[in-house]
Structure 1
Amino acid sequence: MRRFVVSMWLCVLCTVLSAHSFTHPGVLHNLKSFEVMKQQIEKKIMPAYGSWMILKAHPCSQFDYELRGPYKVISRDGEYAYTKGNMERDFSAAYQNSLMWMLTGDKRHAEKSLDILTAYADTLQYIPETNDAPLLAGLEGMKIVYAAEILKYTYKEADASSLAKISKMILTVFLPVLENFYAREPYTNGNWGPVATKTYMAIAIWSDNAQMYEKAKDFYLNAHDNGTIKNYISGDTGQCQESGRDQGHPQLGLGAMATICEMAWIQGDDLYSALDNRLLKGYEYTARYNLGYDVPYVVWKDITGKYSDWQSISSHSRGSFKPVYEIVYNHYVLRKHLEMPYTKEVLDKIRPEGFERDQPAFGSLLFWNK
């Protein structure tokens, strides 16, 4: 049965490719972006240079990184939960070495990234449908697709055979988990939707699949799910669906939404401005509260009906900032000349942005003045 499903997905993917012209590499960054980053590094321009120093020193950025896997089965929970920490580090190393390759030109980084991806492509068989499967596919799949996209279009030694194996892993192991998530009735808190969608959109770009790309955009804008721009963020105040849960998860959701918007921006589509720049409002509300200011709060009636009993905004992890702020500040303030005073105050506290396992991270370099 599994072989049939895999074959079916390959056939479907082959038939829905269109003549839509995608920018490559186009998963978060294009070649112009990397040229700007390299100039910032060379001239030691802050805050970009500060993020570069953190990236450069991180254990997962080293060309001699020692692979922890690969595994035949990976999972965040259940029987194979023991793979979680190691495979997350491996995929971070593939992602960060692809960045290091682009920023240093040292082929050893490209080779390390390719070695990690091909090792998993040769070994990984499936992701079991445990509770956390969509999160795994979304959080880790993004790193894999980003690195693969970079290598495919910039590293000449990435041979067709290796890229084909990596592509098969992406399309037959990770993608079906995301499709299964989309096919279900809404059942999760809102961060899950954009986490899944950022990788779904990345796979669409990798595959030159316009139908998938449009599906990702439509989910972000219109899906019947807690994880859409209209259902996750209040248009009146910027309160997030998970603001009553804690302060970490809203930042996870907002960061994933920003990632989607940045990918779409590179492809010529403006999702940032959706619903009167509602993403900006969500960031400002969250930044304001976590800086210690008061914010309005109403009991949220979520799409599933399962998460509607938080009576007040949660102070759990208040003041702990994830590195997800530069990406939106770059767009709304530096590109569009809008105001984000609370986001700016956050950045004044945390710059330069550093590592975060579940986000692109290193934002003061990757998303500053692009």
Structure 2
Amino acid sequence: MKMDFIYTLAVTAALSFCSCTEIEDGAPINFDEWEAPEKIEFTLNHPCMLHSEADFTYVKEKLAASAQPWADAYASLESSKFANPAYQADPVEWLKRLDKTNWENKHPDYVNYTNLANDAAAAYQLALRWKLSDKKEYGDAAKSILNAWAKNCKGIYRENGSLIDPNELLIAIQAYQLANAAEILRGYDKWGETEEFKAFVQWIESTFYAMADDFLVRHNNTADHYWLNWDLAQMTAILSIGILSDNQEMINKVIQYFKNGIGPGNVNTAVLHLYDDPDGSGEKLGQCQESGRDQGHAMLCCALMGYFCKMAYNIGEDLFAYGNGRVVAMAEYVAKYNVFKPEFADQVPGGNNEWFSYTRVGFPYTAYFYCDEQMDEPSAVELRSNGAETGRGGKRPIWDLWYGHCKKVGMSAKYCGEFASRLRPDAGPEQYGGSGGALDQLGYSTLMFYYE
């Protein structure tokens, strides 16, 4: 697909989207005056996805010196069930993530994507152990997982050529994890030069790319039916596959989507409003598009947005700083809301109240409309409703990615640092419990992103 055709689609669809979702200053993005930039040629010095060779060198030096918190973080990785070289992959022929109510009778295996989630976590963790220890058994185990999926899985289940359930789109949330494992393993026994590697790249692209690309263009023929994490699942898939396959067009397309796209993955819609911190810290707080939903999803958005921006940063595109640090403001907003509570909030449903500190001033929030063409009338989603309080204070191993990056480049991230300090060193996502979505983030942010 030519880049000018992509931009034309984005401009056309964006006009309908922005009529419904308000951004910070109350005005929609003016696409009539926007001109597509020239295509950028990114330099890909592999590994260059979430972790560069310099990153691995830095962590290995810390581990060699038994420095903290890296030593304890690596000990946690060593104890993980997913980082065991005896781990065996469990690929399925067709991936499914179907709604039980609609499909249980017709498809007894209506949910089998959890096989992929488990194996993606294992491939990544084993790849880390190989890269940080140079022990062949971990590289062999990680490689065997990726090869097994490329050889045995035909893709995501379809009937008559089409997905049968929108939930299947969220299987893409594991694509960036698989791609990052493969990116780390490029240098293992020259695997990146083999036919096996080429077969894996072909499999991951054919399984995820067309689906993710179509969703970002059409959103299932709705104007803005979806929450931010749906866009981010597709965006992280496309960017990681583009880097893995050295596909400049994929990379350009999805980075431009972040800046000018038609859905909630556009940074100006992902971060609806900016505020000065009422506690006088000087921090900017950015209201997340899912902050009025529940805190589990708001923190998932921080995880996926962090991964997306870190992958872009490692190939030369600084999205952390884009728009005066708008995504960092979003992470600060979500972190503060989940670490601090107002004095009148004694109990939070589904939250971990022992984690909370107190904040002196009320938390800033602006009601907004979640637009859904399938509803007769969209309704405002209030932050302080039960839905928004649910999961408040939950633990997700993502915060040292934000804090470590910002510290390294000289950006402020006070509340990300506050949350990170309570988890440090964090572990694999499976060690924090929760539902199947626990494996939607990689974990080990202290090990790989903390910066002294």
Deviation at 1:93, TM superposition (A): 0.9
1:156-181 residue CA offsets vs partner (Å, 9 max, x unmatched): 25662211221121121121221221
Report if aligned partners of 2:213, 2:234 keep a CA contact under 8 Å in 1.
Answer: no
Deviation at 1:104, TM superposition (A): 0.8
Structure 1 pair 223–158 and aligned structure 2 pair: CA distance change class (3 A): closer
Question: In angstroms, what is the RMSD of aligned CA positions?
Answer: 2.1
Per the normalisation by structure 1, the TM-score is 0.89
The residue number in structure 2 matching 1:218 is 256
Report if aligned partners of 1:224, 1:303 keep a CA contact under 8 Å in 2.
Answer: no
Deviation at 1:66, TM superposition (A): 2.4
Structure number with the higher helix fraction is: 1
Confirm whether residue 203 of structure 1 aligns to residue 274 of structure 2: no
Report if aligned partners of 1:299, 1:308 keep a CA contact under 8 Å in 2.
Answer: no
Q: How does 1:1-370 map to 2 (within 5 A)?
A: 20-67=42-89, 69-78=90-99, 79=107, 80-128=109-157, 129=163, 130-137=165-172, 139-156=173-190, 160-185=194-219, 186-237=224-275, 238-291=286-339, 292=341, 293=359, 294-302=362-370, 304=372, 308-313=379-384, 314-332=388-406, 334-356=407-429, 357-369=439-451
Report if aligned partners of 1:192, 1:253 keep a CA contact under 8 Å in 2.
Answer: no
Match of 1:236, SS state, is strand
Structure 1 pair 336–31 and aligned structure 2 pair: CA distance change class (3 A): closer
Q: Which moved more, 1:356-365 or 1:72-81?
A: 72-81
Deviation at 1:193, TM superposition (A): 1.2
Deviation at 1:303, TM superposition (A): 5.7
Structure 1 pair 262–312 and aligned structure 2 pair: CA distance change class (3 A): closer
In 2: Cα distance, 1:182 partner to 1:62 partner: 37
Deviation at 1:44, TM superposition (A): 2.1
Q: Which moved more, 1:27-36 or 1:296-305?
A: 296-305
**Which letter does structure 1 place at the counterpart of 2:127?**
S
Report if aligned partners of 2:139, 2:188 keep a CA contact under 8 Å in 1.
Answer: no
Report if aligned partners of 1:23, 1:266 keep a CA contact under 8 Å in 2.
Answer: no
Structure 1 pair 92–266 and aligned structure 2 pair: CA distance change class (3 A): same
In 2: Cα distance, 1:165 partner to 1:157 partner: 11
Match of 1:66, SS state, is coil
In 2: Cα distance, 1:111 partner to 1:318 partner: 40
Unaligned regions of 5+ residues in structure 1, if any? 1-16
Deviation at 1:20, TM superposition (A): 4.6
In 2: Cα distance, 1:260 partner to 1:158 partner: 23
Unaligned regions of 5+ residues in structure 2, if any? 1-38, 100-106, 158-162, 276-285, 342-358, 430-438
Q: Which moved more, 1:197-206 or 1:38-47?
A: 38-47
Report if aligned partners of 1:26, 1:263 keep a CA contact under 8 Å in 2.
Answer: yes
Q: Which moved more, 1:146-155 or 1:23-32?
A: 146-155
Report if aligned partners of 1:226, 1:303 keep a CA contact under 8 Å in 2.
Answer: no
In 1: Cα distance, 2:382 partner to 2:216 partner: 29
In 2: Cα distance, 1:235 partner to 1:19 partner: 32
Match of 1:55, SS state, is helix
Match of 2:181, SS state, is helix
Match of 2:443, SS state, is coil
In 2: Cα distance, 1:244 partner to 1:179 partner: 27
Deviation at 1:339, TM superposition (A): 2.5
Report if aligned partners of 1:48, 1:352 keep a CA contact under 8 Å in 2.
Answer: yes
In 1: Cα distance, 2:379 partner to 2:133 partner: 49
Report if aligned partners of 1:72, 1:123 keep a CA contact under 8 Å in 2.
Answer: yes
Match of 1:239, SS state, is strand
1:99-131 residue CA offsets vs partner (Å, 9 max, x unmatched): 111011111111111111111111111213222
In 1: Cα distance, 2:183 partner to 2:416 partner: 31
In 1: Cα distance, 2:371 partner to 2:55 partner: 38
**Which letter does structure 2 place at the counterpart of 1:64?**
A
Deviation at 1:189, TM superposition (A): 0.5
Deviation at 1:321, TM superposition (A): 2.6
Deviation at 1:308, TM superposition (A): 4.6
In 1: Cα distance, 2:66 partner to 2:110 partner: 41
Percent identical among aligned pairs is 26
Q: Which moved more, 1:241-250 or 1:177-186?
A: 177-186
Structure 1 pair 84–20 and aligned structure 2 pair: CA distance change class (3 A): closer
In 1: Cα distance, 2:202 partner to 2:408 partner: 37
Report if aligned partners of 1:288, 1:295 keep a CA contact under 8 Å in 2.
Answer: no
**Which letter does structure 2 place at the counterpart of 1:236?**
L
Match of 1:191, SS state, is helix
